[in-house]
Amino acid sequence: MIIVNTGNGKGKTTAAVGQIIRSLGRGWKVCLIQLFKGKEFYGEQKILKGLKGLDFYCFAPKHPGCFPGVYRASLVSDCGKALEQFEKALNSKKKYDLIVLEEFNIALRDSFLKAEPLLELLKHKPSNVNVFITGRSAPKALLELADIVTEMKEVKHHYHNGVLAKKGIEF
């Protein structure tokens, strides 16, 4: 099964984290591959690292939208490594039940990653491996391939009243 969380609202990453917790609760083996999230920036990372049954990889820790000095070439290289890690995970002897590709939609949107190789991996994945992909602006071809697509739609957000991202809530 392929699940996609997209849209401009809060809840894409947190729902992926919740999905990991649910799957681990079923005794599933889970692999999380994160882009643009640092290694120790998000509150959930501390808890996730301590959970049995989860392997956790971070690539391209800084997105240029937040860190303007980041080189494009290094992002393309890092996102390529993340894709390699995904291919390894699909074929791993660990036999993951769930692989989460965090913010891969953003890498596609910003052309750090080409869509074709990712779509090919998804089309030919072992049928028992579930893949969960997050990030706003998911491309149409991915939506067509997916079994479940949720758009997290922002109805209201205190950001627009000048409130900054809050530790514990947004990160």
Instruction: Point out which residues bind a second copy (CB under 8 A).
Output: 1, 3, 5-7, 9-19, 21-26, 28, 42-48, 51, 97-98, 130, 143, 146-158, 163, 166-169, 171
User: At closest approach, how far in Å is the CB of 84 from a second copy?
Assistant: 26
User: At closest approach, how far in Å is the CB of 82 from a second copy?
Assistant: 20
**CA-to-CA distance for 48 and 9, rounded, in angstroms?**
23
**CA-to-CA distance for 35 and 25, rounded, in angstroms?**
25
**CA-to-CA distance for 85 and 57, rounded, in angstroms?**
8
**CA-to-CA distance for 149 and 142, rounded, in angstroms?**
10
Q: Are 87 and 7 in contact (CB under 8 A)?
A: no
Q: For a second copy, give the closer residue by CB, 5 or 85.
A: 5
**CA-to-CA distance for 134 and 125, rounded, in angstroms?**
18
User: At closest approach, how far in Å is the CB of 120 from a second copy?
Assistant: 21
Q: For a second copy, give the closer residue by CB, 60 or 129.
A: 129
User: At closest approach, how far in Å is the CB of 43 from a second copy?
Assistant: 3
Q: For a second copy, give the closer residue by CB, 34 or 78.
A: 34
Q: Are 83 and 59 in contact (CB under 8 A)?
A: no
**CA-to-CA distance for 125 and 131, rounded, in angstroms?**
9
User: At closest approach, how far in Å is the CB of 102 from a second copy?
Assistant: 11
Q: For a second copy, give the closer residue by CB, 88 or 169.
A: 169
